[in-house]
Amino acid sequence: MEDPVSFRLFIALTMRQHPISPVTEPLQYRAIGVVRGVFVPADPEQLTRGVLRTDDGTEIEAVVLGRLLTLMRRHLDLAAPHLWVVYPRSREEQQLHLQLVGVWEPSTLATPAPAPAVPASGIEPEAEAESGIEAEFGIEAETGAPAPTPADALPEGDDYFSVRGELIYTRPETGDLVVKVRQLPRADGSRPIPFKLQLRGELPLEHLRHFVSLDLRRQGQQLSVEGFEVIGPLAQRGNRGGKARRGGADRAPAGRGDRSDRGAAPAGGHGKAVNRPGR
């Protein structure tokens, strides 16, 4: 009998036009992107960890989240390159780390196969709570992945990333910047620690402690800014004495809340577009 959850995911995915959902709230945190490459597991018997080998020869440390693991084992040709939907992390300086959560190949839905296309959630509920970013999905036909087709191409191209969060460090003269991304509370009510992404780009100092939306491109082990939008300033968290804590804060303005792409908390703000590409 068809799993009703899988069937709903299948219908939703056939309606999707892009692996990265549109932003629905001004202060919507996220860190997500797409990278084309071949996943090489550290252990052929255990696909949870390995490296993603890209066309430019870069090997990026990667882990597999959620039901994507089942999809990979049963339906993906791991010797072939795929366009992976990923969550970026900065584990070490000058080194990118990726969490694989989906595969974007919509052309496989129209490919004749002896069995129906197999939908899969890109992330399990417990892993989704851990990541705190939006849940994305991967689809693959029973027959495996065909060669990339124009139907699978994205307007932004491969190696595109969308990062939204608080700008907590910027040094325009060296092109270094750091963005903090907040996460929604887990199912048990605990609040995950925000994570920081080390990026490359030139954002003026006056945007420090502002909520920013960044369009980035992967270059080797780094994510470089191609365009950005400053959404607005973020209120600073006070210390016990009632004074603003030195160095800024990680709380959204009172009454506005914050949300990641998998949650829904009211948010507000006024945007100012600066050097932002088409999407």
Q: What is the pLDDT of residue 89?
A: 96
Contacts of 50 (CB under 8 A, 6+ apart): 39, 40, 41, 42, 62
Of the residues 89, 123, 152, the one at which a domain ends: 152
113-122, 206-215, 233-242 — most confident range:
206-215
Residue 187 shares a structural domain with residue 254: yes
Residue 206 pLDDT > 60, yes or no?
A: yes
Indicate whether 139 belongs to any domain: yes
Residue 92 shares a structural domain with residue 48: yes
Q: What is the pLDDT of residue 276?
A: 56
Residue 84 pLDDT > 90, yes or no?
A: yes
> Average pLDDT for residues 243-270, to the nearest whole number?
37
Mean pLDDT of the chain: 73
Indicate whether 19 belongs to any domain: no
Number of domains in the chain: 2
pLDDT bin (cut points 50, 70, 90) of residue 175 is very high
Instruction: Round to whole Å and give the CA distance between 245 and 253.
Output: 15
Residue 205 shares a structural domain with residue 183: yes
Indicate whether 209 belongs to any domain: yes
Comparison of pLDDT for 144 and 51, the residue scoring more: 51
**What is the domain extent for residue 98?**
24-152
Of the residues 152, 171, 205, the one at which a domain ends: 152
Of the residues 135, 152, 169, the one at which a domain ends: 152
Indicate whether 48 belongs to any domain: yes
> Average pLDDT for residues 213-223, to the nearest whole number?
97
In this predicted structure, which of 16-20, 170-174, 200-204 has the lowest mean pLDDT?
Answer: 16-20
Whether residue 89 contacts residue 132, with contact meaning beta carbons closer than 8 Å, is answered with no
